A and B are shown apart, each in its own frame.
Chain A
């Protein structure tokens, strides 16, 4: 079964740090790019970060740029999100989501086809 399982969430004080993990199984992890997407309480979905299969290409949302770092270990079938300088507005459920690729002669397009159940991050004093 294709599966993503997040872990590492918890309660952290403003200005603190936290490292999230996402464990993949049931597919060839090293062949897929992966995203982090978050959802604040009662709010919609917000894309946070993307990493390509080889880690060569990385993107961040402006709201987390300079504070969050995405990484992966293909040997361990794992994805990570190192979060620092956390703010109250970072409080959310964090999902990892696999990217499926549409290849055209001009560009690559990625949508999110498999999602984990999420891990909750609460930033509060």
Chain B
């Protein structure tokens, strides 16, 4: 079954405590990306990766890092989380350029106190 798996699904943390949200896909897609969803703002892209070792900033990259060391994994790193990073995060993959369907994970709800 085609899957995009995110972990953790829910996390409450405190300001400044580094955390990583993992994303793994089994569809062999080259393109992966991270979005955050906030009420009234829809989804906004944080980072994307066109292939292994190729990453670039999206619309709201401040405070986040990513890495793409292998095709199936694309972790999102918050080095020093702040309350304004409290949000719902989605990892997504895509099979063929911008015309392809995005496949989303189930989301990770992060609360930073």
Partners in one complex: no
- On A, residues with C-beta under 8 Å from B are none
